[in-house]
Amino acid sequence: MPAEIDRNRARIEDSRQLAAALTPVDCIYIQIVYMTNQTFSGNLPSIAGIHAATPFGMEYARQQVLRHSSRGTPFFRGEPVGMPRIPDSITKTTFYLYPNRKAAEKGHGFGGTGCIIGIESEAQPTTYFLYAVTNWHVAVKGGNSVIRINTSDGKTDIFEHDPSDWQFIPGGPDICALPLHARHPFHDFRFILPDRFATPELIKELSIDAGEDVLMVGRFVDHDGGEINMPALRFGNISVMPTKMRQPTGYVGDAYCIDLHSRSGYSGSPVFVYRTIGQDLTVSGINLNQPGFILCLGIHFGQFSENWDIEDSCETEEEMASLAGKRIVGASGMTTVIPIWEVMRLLNSGDLMINRKRSDAHLAASKPATPRPESAAPIPETVGLNPDEVLKRMLDTPPNPYTVGSKVTDK
């Protein structure tokens, strides 16, 4: 152990000398954490304003951190640190729900929220089938089946559906869906792909568990944008991983318990789990090599209530006697989320799957063949085109009935 302490002291002295040589006038104060868990302070150069994009779509600020070469020479390298910037496109994965067209035009009523899921075509990989997903208790039981989605001209477009249009698993989870006929770029939206789902496999691989940060995107009815959709974000943490829970349909199935405030209007909102660089507290010290991620955890469907005593508000003994034993029911701040794999189970069942398979077969059969001379090698569709022309050809490919769009992390 003394030898290790001597090596650390040498590193500290090296870092002080290097910091003195490199620190500009506008330096910042950070902590340097060594493998021995001893924390020291030093002034290191700042490169504020520079961000690094990760494969998961989040952007992190980069900070100069002291490192050592394989033979002990100290040097600085940029590392992503701090709280990530939430992608703007996250809010564009949602839409609002209303009981009728008039309410949708004026932005009146409680209604609810929904999110857009995209499933890639098996026949044409650049084509996606779009689905609107929300809670059964919102669109079917509650009758809030009219969809309002933003458009690229700063306005909205309204799809007048009724409760019978929404498909669900009878007696199943509190979710329902229907094909969404949105058009890109006329409609200003993004969609969530299954590869961004927090599946059981990814949960195990990434060790996602209680305490993880989550965010929810939905309709805060008191300030929802009025005549345009302006979703609000709410933040919290996973309290309990999926356990059996009764849902409004009567179904008893797995659901997350989330420490996150909600209210009417957020039902049907997508909930995302995310982790920042070096956020795993199960490891010793700060590990900047831990990847960050953001994944769709599931669909919000309700919250636990709690009873509040009201006797203390009484001014007289008569009032207190009249209210004795009575309670006010309020929100506890503990919300419930249906796991995202239940959404995939729904989309891969019934008419939703049958119609998608039928459309895929039609797309495969209608793909035009390229004529070629006899005995000649097959002619690629993009032969003779430069990369820009190839990209343009891909973008100009006619969309399927459910249109094409952009992934949730596209900027």
Q: Which CATH code, of 3.40.640.10, 2.40.10.10, 2.40.10.120, 2.40.30.10, is assigned to 196-314+322-340?
A: 2.40.10.10
359: CB partners within 8 A, 6+ apart: 121, 129, 400, 401, 402
Strands of the sheet with 128-134, listed across from one edge: 156-159, 146-150, 94-98, 112-120, 128-134, 176-179
134 is written with which tokens?
């929300």
State the pLDDT confidence band at 313, using cuts at 50, 70 and 90: low
In the chain, where the domains are located: 2-85, 196-314+322-340
Residue 358 has pLDDT above 70, yes or no: yes
Tell which residue, 392, 393, 395, has the closest CA to residue 406. Answer: 395
Q: For 44-73, how does the pLDDT look when each residue is reduced to its tens digit (9 = 90+)?
A: 222 222 223 333 455 555 667 788 888 888
Identify the pLDDT of residue 295. Answer: 93
Residue 143 has pLDDT above 50, yes or no: yes
Q: What pTM does this model have?
A: 0.67
Identify the pLDDT of residue 405. Answer: 39
Q: How far apart are CA 318 and CA 100, in angstroms?
A: 46
Top-confidence residue, 404 or 249: 249
Phi–psi pair at 65, nearest 5 degrees: -120, 140
